[in-house]
Chains A and B, each alone.
Chain A
Amino acid sequence: MSWFVTYVRSSIGAKHVMAVTGLLLALFAVAHMIGHLVMFGGRDAYNDYAHMLQNLGHGGVKWIVRGGLLALVAVHIGAGIRLTSLNKAARPVPYAVFRTVRTRPWAKTMVWTGLAVLAFIVYHLLHFTAGQIQPEYFHQLDPKGRYDAYVMFVRGFQNPAILASYLVAMVCLLPHLSHGLKSLFQSLGLQHPKYDGLINKGGAGLAVILFLGYITPPLCVALGVIKLPGA
């Protein structure tokens, strides 16, 4: 085995892989949320933004980012599942009585919240990237001849089932990010009494900001604050 494979398969190296891929995915989540909030700018601004993303570098950047994200998700989930199964195997005979005092529910359920978010990502891509969920709204054009991402967004979240599945996914993402954003610094060895407090509060705070940033535009659609053009 090469030194790199040995490293990433080791107990600590695998944690570094989880931490780095998790951090990059969280950074994507921040950028994606900011884009999401452009919905408040109205149809023209949102479609402009969507058009810009689609055509960055003559459409090449989009494919590089998609490829990178896919690789990050695959590695993050693959390493996570491998570590979870190794951890289960490390205690073949369970305790009859076992009490934990520090473990938080979100730390214990990382693999499940993670898999729930994965299921959502697949659905989300089928909906907004592949156009398989509401195909009737997928290829509509706005008056300027651009894909009407704004209308697709509003039509999507006007559907109660789609809105509900989205909210459930965000409720799973919140604890996953809250534990992950704090935990990754310890995994990478970036721990110091001077900035421990910042990491703990900042990690949880960023997770809450992402949660609120993600649920606000769809809820505004449901509440009629964000409307279809002319409605």
Chain B
Amino acid sequence: MSEPESNDKPLNLTIYVWRQKDAKDAGGLVKYDLKGVSQHASFLEMLDILNEQLVGKGEEPVAFDHDCREGICGMCSLMINGRPHGGFPATTTCQVHMRHFKDGETIYIEPWRAGAFPVVRDLVVDRAAFDKITQAGGYITANCGSAQDANAILVPKDDADRAMSAAACIGCGACVAACPNSSAMLYTAAKLAHMHNLPQGQPERMKRTLAMVDAMDAAGFGNCTNHYECEAACPKEITREVIAMMNRDYAKAALSYREPTAKSDGAG
């Protein structure tokens, strides 16, 4: 991301944070005035500072998801001023720094919004719906035991690169948050594409596509209307190409996949 001109002047900010006690609470935006925030602080450190002040006053701190703070774990979320992860190119919330904000700025912080991502508390949402999609087919069937020769299955570099680009998905949910329809197609398609660009993903390709799309639909995500907000919001810059691949495969699978029959377990 482009670095703004930095100086050491601390920032005074007005912050509206979504506060919600639990899944059943209606919740609402609460205004906080935060003074003297270092421009060198990360966005999450700014929330840490807010929480220290809240705890000091005997109030409940703001709950938010975070883990590695290195942009690779997919835990941090946050809708910042109406954009997932703040809307900076290829950046997760933990990699956003306060020098991107102006003194006196008002910042709105909300959780991801989707029926399939219920709010657990404050800014924390339950992203288990993603796990269900991956559990439905995000794996290959392989024999355990002795590993086969490393070069037994040749993978062209281009295919490996394409698979790796899709596998860069950290499952943060920014695609769902950015989608006007709360659709999870970029996530699901990325998980499919990272296997379907490789030979190891081919044997179960049709079955996997059907299972993961069905799990996505069952979780209550919306439908893609080709606005491409997802690819603009993705911190790993996964593109809509993966969705096209899934769309193609789903038609093929729906029209041609056959459930294995009882007699198919061996010849003779």
Contact = CB atoms under 8 A, between A and B. Distances in A.
Q: Do A and B interact with each other, yes or no?
A: yes
Interface string B96-125: 000000000000101001111001000000
B217 interface: yes
A112 interface: no
Nearest to B178: A100
B110 A95 contact: yes
B126 to A, nearest CB: 14
Interface stretch (A121-129, A137-145, A164-172, A181-189): A181-189
User: Which interface class (under 10, 10 to 19, 20 to 34, 35 or more) fits A?
Assistant: 35 or more
A11 B232 contact: no
B185 interface: yes
User: Which interface class (under 10, 10 to 19, 20 to 34, 35 or more) fits B?
Assistant: 35 or more
A14 B243 CA distance: 15
A95 B79 contact: yes
A186 B239 CA distance: 12
Nearest to A191: B244
Interface stretch (B55-63, B69-77, B150-158, B222-230): B222-230
A92 B115 CA distance: 6
Nearest to B224: A15
Interface in B226-252: 226-229, 231-232, 240-241, 243-251
A176 interface: no
A64 interface: no
B183 interface: yes
Interface in A20-40: none
B222 A87 contact: yes
Contacts of A107: 225-227
A89 B243 CA distance: 22
A179 B228 CA distance: 12
Contacts of B53: none
B185 A87 contact: no
Contacts of B202: none
Contacts of B82: 95, 97-99
Interface of B: 16, 18, 29, 79, 81-83, 87, 108, 110, 113-116, 119, 178, 180-183, 185, 213-214, 216-217, 220-229, 231-232, 240-241, 243-251, 254-255
